Chain A
């Protein structure tokens, strides 16, 4: 299975600022995704990070708030912009290789607290 490194693991940020989260995979993968897990909740897909093109966002998530980059097949970033306390969540990077059947693997997550 792929090894996923996510940075930072946690951060406390002031409202109105932005935070960029990095996701690095140890092998080339077809698909990379970003999820949000609000406190005590399940996972919600934010977007699919597409290599070399704009990310595909799910309903309720927009590029201005969550800009995503994916410059190659092993790396992606998610920025949480103009943060408010409601953005306090765990943000998780996920990868999947469509040539394998064993599903999506997750990074350790970034625990974000906005004060």
Chain B
């Protein structure tokens, strides 16, 4: 089955850019997603990318997809303290099921 991996932790200064990385194993994954989870909350869908795209930009968010290496990244420009949260990447493959990575905890320091 699909396996999705992320680094555990990222610390960044307010105003800098954050880059969160994710790898997946199933080359037939059709969509890849980024979710944000704040303490005590559910998951908020941030953005997604279709597997035939290399890049998608949405305001401060930029998603890069290297399908050959099965590598996905999320860049947050001008990181703010409100961006402190856990970020999950997820891959959709056969059966429309989502497989989630372990989550990356992002800490934004003032």
Interface residues of A (CB under 8 A from B): 1, 6, 31, 41-43, 45, 48, 92, 94, 96, 98, 101-109, 111
Are B45 and A103 in touch, CB under 8 angstroms?
Answer: yes
- A/B interface sample: 19 pairs, CB < 8 A: A1-B45, A41-B102, A42-B100, A42-B102, A43-B43, A43-B100, A45-B98, A48-B97, A92-B43, A94-B98, A98-B96, A102-B45, A103-B45, A103-B90, A103-B98, A106-B42, A106-B44, A109-B41, A109-B42
Kindly state the separation between the CA atoms of A104 and B96 in the bound complex, as whole angstroms.
10
Interface residues of B (CB under 8 A from A): 31, 33, 35, 40-45, 48, 50, 88, 90, 92, 96-98, 100-103
Are B100 and A101 in touch, CB under 8 angstroms?
Answer: no
Asked if A101 meets B31 with Cβ closer than 8 Å, knowing A42-B100, A43-B100, the reply is yes
How many pairs of residues, A versus B, come closer than 8 Å at their CB atoms? 47
Shortest A26–chain B CB gap in Å is 15
Asked if A104 meets B98 with Cβ closer than 8 Å, knowing A42-B88, A42-B103, A43-B88, the reply is yes
Please, which residues of chain A bring their CB within 8 A of the CB of B31? 101, 103
Please, which residues of chain A bring their CB within 8 A of the CB of B100? 42-43
Kindly state the separation between the CA atoms of A112 and B48 in the bound complex, as whole angstroms.
30
Kindly state the separation between the CA atoms of A101 and B50 in the bound complex, as whole angstroms.
9
Please, which residues of chain B bring their CB within 8 A of the CB of A94? 98
Kindly state the separation between the CA atoms of A45 and B33 in the bound complex, as whole angstroms.
16
Kindly state the separation between the CA atoms of A105 and B46 in the bound complex, as whole angstroms.
10
